């Protein structure tokens, strides 16, 4: 399995973002090799990979929420009671444990003499034993056989051991990153938070889809707390960034949250249906459309989408891109039929706080 001299990392992102995360990894990391891609339905997209880059470079990935080092990988775990015995034995005998522990400490983590560890267990597929029993089998094997002394705890662990049984494939990994990677600091790195704020990793994936270029005039016309604009600022050079929102409260939040963004940034109170920009002035739009819950009546949403798309067709230059996140994708597609100037180039089904949503990559065509 891969290059035995290098650690195997497990990285996680939000469901549906695995392919976009891999596209970032394949450009940001040195000699990346994907060993497997897996899903924990409703929870995570998981990639197992190796790279010549040092561990700390994985923490800089914007489309990834958590980084782990693999300590055990085994196949053909039985769904019958015998499976628990197999799990126990494989965790005990895994040849990857010492190097995983080395990677763990080399990444700046501590392994005290008595190491407190916590086990997080997930399972897909059907087994005759409960999920909890999988974690217990792993915990017993760790205490029995891993180097040093290990004590199972519920909280304040030195090490988080994440156990996933992907049907019959067992993966045990030690968490290297902490919550600051996932949330980019408190409240998603935002000074001011609002209820519909986007998860930074989703914003980062959307920004990647805009294909960031140095001459970008980038607009989020419904910017809320500014997550998309903040991610665009990090993604590379740009000509101009514009964060707009209709709500006064949102504009206040934007002013606070985007204060460290350098370069040409404008924060404006505006109506996405009546934009203060010339025809073709904008090259890229990334936007998180209000979900149905935020308006009173479904027709209102259709009207809003129609008005907004009409303006975006006008202000986005031919060849420009619109990346839109929506929960009600059928409504968006219906509205888009009114605009032959737009063409959908891709769509990504994702989960946003347990709710199904879609990221659409839309091109403003050159002609018509």
Ligand X SMILES: C[S@@+](CC[C@H](N)C(=O)[O-])C[C@H]1O[C@@H](n2cnc3c(N)ncnc32)[C@H](O)[C@@H]1O
Q: Which of 7, 32, 224, 320 binds ligand X (CB under 6 A)?
A: 224
Q: Which residues contact 330 (CB under 8 A, 6 or more apart)?
A: none
Q: Which is nearer to ligand X, 160 or 271 (CB)?
A: 271
Q: How far is residue 350's CA from residue 198's CA, in Å, rounded to a whole number? A: 13
Cβ atoms of 311 and 272 closer than 8 Å: yes
227 forms part of the interface with ligand X (CB under 6 A): yes
228 forms part of the interface with ligand X (CB under 6 A): yes
Q: Which of 86, 145, 168, 247 binds ligand X (CB under 6 A)?
A: 247
Pattern of binders to ligand X over 42-71, x per CB under 6 A? ------------------------------
Q: Which of 10, 159, 163, 198 binds ligand X (CB under 6 A)?
A: 198
Angle between helix 200-209 and 18-28 (nearest 10): 70
* Number of shown-chain residues binding ligand X (CB under 6 A): 20
Q: Following CA atoms 93, 99, 102, 106 in sequence, which dihedral angle do they give, to the nearest 10 degrees?
A: -150
Q: Tell me the window of 179-187, 208-216, 244-252, 258-266 that interacts with ligand X (CB under 6 A).
A: 244-252
Q: Which is nearer to ligand X, 92 or 252 (CB)?
A: 252
288 forms part of the interface with ligand X (CB under 6 A): yes
- For 343, the token pair is 């063409």
Q: Is 245 helix (H, G, I), strand (E, B) or coil?
A: strand
Alpha carbon 316 to its chain's center = 27
Q: Tell me the window of 5-13, 26-34, 144-152, 219-227 that interacts with ligand X (CB under 6 A).
A: 219-227
Q: Which of 63, 90, 225, 283 binds ligand X (CB under 6 A)?
A: 225
Cβ atoms of 351 and 205 closer than 8 Å: no
Closest CA to 202 of 221, 175, 230: 230
Q: Tell me the window of 42-50, 102-110, 138-146, 222-230 that interacts with ligand X (CB under 6 A).
A: 222-230
Q: How far is residue 159's CA from residue 126's CA, in Å, rounded to a whole number? A: 28
List contacts with ligand X (CB under 6 A): 194, 196-198, 221-222, 224-225, 227-228, 245-247, 250, 271-273, 288, 290, 304
């Amino acid at each position: 399995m891969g290059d035995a001299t290098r650690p195997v990392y497990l990285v996680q992102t939000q469901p549906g973002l695995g392919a976009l995360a891999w596209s970032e990894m394949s450009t940001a990391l040195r000699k990346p090799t994907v060993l497997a891609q897996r899903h924990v339905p409703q929870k995570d997209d998981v990639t197992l990979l190796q790279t010549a880059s040092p561990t700390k470079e994985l923490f800089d990935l914007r489309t990834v929420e958590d980084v782990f080092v693999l300590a055990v990988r085994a196949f053909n775990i039985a769904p019958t009671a015998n499976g628990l015995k197999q799990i126990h034995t494989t965790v005990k005998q895994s040849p990857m444990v010492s190097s995983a522990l080395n990677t763990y400490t080399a990444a700046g983590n501590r392994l005290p003499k008595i190491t407190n560890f916590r086990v997080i267990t997930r399972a897909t597929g059907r087994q005759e034993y409960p999920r909890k029993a999988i974690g217990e089998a792993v915990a017993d094997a760790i205490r029995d056989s891993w180097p040093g002394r290990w004590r199972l705890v519920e909280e304040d662990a030195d090490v988080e051991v994440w156990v996933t049984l992907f049907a019959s494939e067992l993966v045990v990994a030690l968490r290297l990153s902490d919550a600051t990677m996932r949330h980019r600091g408190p409240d998603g790195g935002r000074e001011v938070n609002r209820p519909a704020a986007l998860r930074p990793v989703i914003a980062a994936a959307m920004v990647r889809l805009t294909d960031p270029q140095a001459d970008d005039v980038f607009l989020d016309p419904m910017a809320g707390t500014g997550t998309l604009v903040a991610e665009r600022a990090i993604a590379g050079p740009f000509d101009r960034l514009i964060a707009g929102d209709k709500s006064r409260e949102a504009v206040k939040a934007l002013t606070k949250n985007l204060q460290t963004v350098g370069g040409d940034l404008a924060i404006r109170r505006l109506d996405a249906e009546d934009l203060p920009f010339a025809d073709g002035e904008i090259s890229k739009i990334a936007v998180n459309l209000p979900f149905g819950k935020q308006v009173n009546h479904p027709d209102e949403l259709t009207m809003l989408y129609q008005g907004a798309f009409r303006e975006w067709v006008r202000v986005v230059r031919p060849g420009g891109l619109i990346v839109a996140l929506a929960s009600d994708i059928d409504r968006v597609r219906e509205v888009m039929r009114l605009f032959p100037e737009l063409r959908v180039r891709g769509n990504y089904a994702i989960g946003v706080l347990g709710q199904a949503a879609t990221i659409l990559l839309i091109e403003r065509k050159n002609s018509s």
